[in-house]
Amino acid sequence: MRWSSKLPLLLGFSALLSQVSPAANISGTVKGPDGGAFKGAFVQAQNTKSHVTVSVLSDKDGRYQVPNLPSGEYDLRIRAIGYKADPRTDVKLTASQNLSADFALQKGVVRWNDLSLHQGRVLLPDSKGKDVLYANCFDCHGFETRMASVTRDEDGWRDRVHYMKNAMHFFLQERITQDKEDALVSFLSSTFGPNSTKHSTNR
């Protein structure tokens, strides 16, 4: 009697399991330009229909695994700052398929919008103007889109600094004194101006 009362529940659970589609897996290795294992590269698998993207990191041995992917068509790409690799497009995965895909990285261009705010703090040259920039501007802006994405000479940067001081007068007028403004404009001009080697090679 007890068994018969549980039977519908067990049958329902079995039916549910039978409806779950087996998942596919993608695995492989990422190698650097020297042929050695590359740690910390993002391997991204994007479903071309749903646009859902799954990202994983390669480990210390360069290995990665993207598990439990629904069957479908995928694009595979690598993201690693300063490196590039040919993507694999229109990869068709079937249920329970285990696909192997290896990537060989080549050196590439580092663009400002590839960098995080912390990486910019480390890489940008130290100066009083840099300190003013980080202390006052990055609560609202990122250097990747507001500074590195345009080219302005000294007059252009001073105009923008004046605009922000007026627009945010309750916050910036007293904090950015004239000497700090001069240092900030000088830093922006030398780092992101038309004659900056950093700007022209990394944009």
Among 58, 78, 107, residue at a domain's last position: 107
Q: Is the pLDDT of residue 34 over 50?
A: yes
What SS3 class is residue 64? strand
Residue-level pLDDT at 1? 45
**Does position 11 have pLDDT exceeding 60, yes or no?**
no
Sorted by sequence, the CB contacts under 8 Å of residue 198 that are 6+ apart come out as: 191, 192
What is the spatial distance between Cα 102 and Cα 92, in angstroms, rounded to a whole number? 16
Contacts of 182 (CB under 8 A, 6+ apart): none
For the stretch 60-91, pLDDT in tens is 999 999 999 999 999 999 999 889 999 999 99
The answer to whether the CB of 82 falls within 8 A of the CB of 41 is no
Q: Is the same domain home to 191 and 124?
A: yes
For residue 21, the model assigns a pLDDT of 59
Average pLDDT score, the chain: 84
Asked if residue 101 and residue 84 are part of one domain, the reply reads: yes
Residue 99: CB atoms within 10 A of its CB come to: 19
Query: Is residue 12 situated within a structural domain?
Result: no
